[in-house]
């Protein structure tokens, strides 16, 4: 599934659509260069999922947990930014791998940094600069990811 995000309002709209399509246990990998909009998308998603506070890029902490309610059930959404991770082993040492337990929703910026130790995604989102806007591609890699994509109603989809 591909779309063009003309400006940041489209990125936010995709975040809202994704928030509505979330399912417990979902693991989402966000690919794209610095400034592609990975954090912006995650921020919009978390706010739409009901998180009222700020959403900072977890640049130094590498991970930041949020608690949201999905269909009346509390679910932890954990946002990672692995850009500054020194080696894939660090992902294991920090205990991050245990977060991927089939219940938490894990959203990972810079999954490349934990290659080999990061569980495979249910959904891959690839953002790239295109003119003044961004192109986005969403790909499912599991039944759960496919369910999420089927639940996704995003008006800008090409
Ligand atoms: N669709 C879009 N078109 C143009 N600019 C966008 C779009 N979506 C987000 N942006 C801008 O791009 C930047 C993305 O930054 P950020 O989300 O921190 O990127 P990343 O986390 O991928 O490094 C922000 O300045 C944001 O305002
Ligand atoms: Mg970021």
What is the domain partition of the chain in residue ranges?
2-151
**Res. 157 pLDDT band, cuts 50 70 90:** low
Query: How many angstroms separate the CA atoms of 91 and 105, rounded?
Result: 17
- The per-residue pLDDT for range 122-150, each reduced to its tens digit, is 999 999 999 999 999 999 999 999 999 99
φ/ψ of residue 123, rounded to 5: -140, 135
In 35-142, alpha helices (H): 38-48, 88-93, 96-99
Are 158 and 28 spatial neighbours (Cβ–Cβ below 8 Å)? no
What is the distance between the terminal CA atoms of the chain, rounded to a whole angstrom? Answer: 8
CATH topology of domain 2-151: Rossmann fold (3.40.50)
* Residues 67, 75 contacting (CB under 8 angstroms): yes
CB 35 within 8 A of CB 44: no
Best substitution site from 3, 5, 8, 107 to test ligand 1's pocket, by max atoms within 8 Å of Cβ?
8
pLDDT at residue number 158: 46
Tokens of 74: 């509390």
Return the biggest CA–CA distance within the chain.
Answer: 42
pLDDT tens digits for range 90-110 = 999 999 999 999 999 999 999
Q: Ligand 1 in contact with 34 (CB < 6 A)?
A: yes
Task: Tell me the per-residue pLDDT of 106-128, one tens digit each, with 9 for 90 and over.
Answer: 999 999 999 999 999 999 999 99
| Residues by chain with Cβ below 5 Å of ion ligand 2 | 38-39, 57, 109
Report the predicted TM-score, pTM, of the whole model to 2 decimal places.
0.96
Kindly state the tokens that stand for 43. Answer: 């921020």
């Amino acid at each position: 599934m591909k779309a063009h995000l003309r400006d940041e309002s489209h990125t936010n709209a995709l975040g809202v659509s994704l928030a509505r399509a979330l399912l417990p246990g979902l693991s989402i990998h966000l690919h794209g260069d610095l400034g592609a909009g990975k954090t912006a998308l995650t921020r919009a998603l978390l706010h739409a999922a009901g998180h009222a506070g700020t959403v900072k890029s977890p640049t130094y902490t590498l991970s930041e947990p949020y608690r949201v309610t999905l269909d009346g059930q509390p679910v932890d959404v954990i946002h990672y930014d692995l850009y500054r991770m020194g080696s894939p082993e660090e992902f294991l040492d920090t205990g991050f791998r245990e977060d991927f337990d089939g219940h938490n929703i894990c959203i990972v910026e810079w999954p490349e940094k934990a290659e080999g130790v990061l569980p495979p995604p249910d959904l891959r989102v690839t953002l790239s600069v295109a003119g003044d806007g961004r192109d986005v591609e969403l790909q499912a890699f599991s039944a759960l990811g496919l369910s999420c994509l089927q639940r996704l109603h995003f008006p800008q989809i090409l």
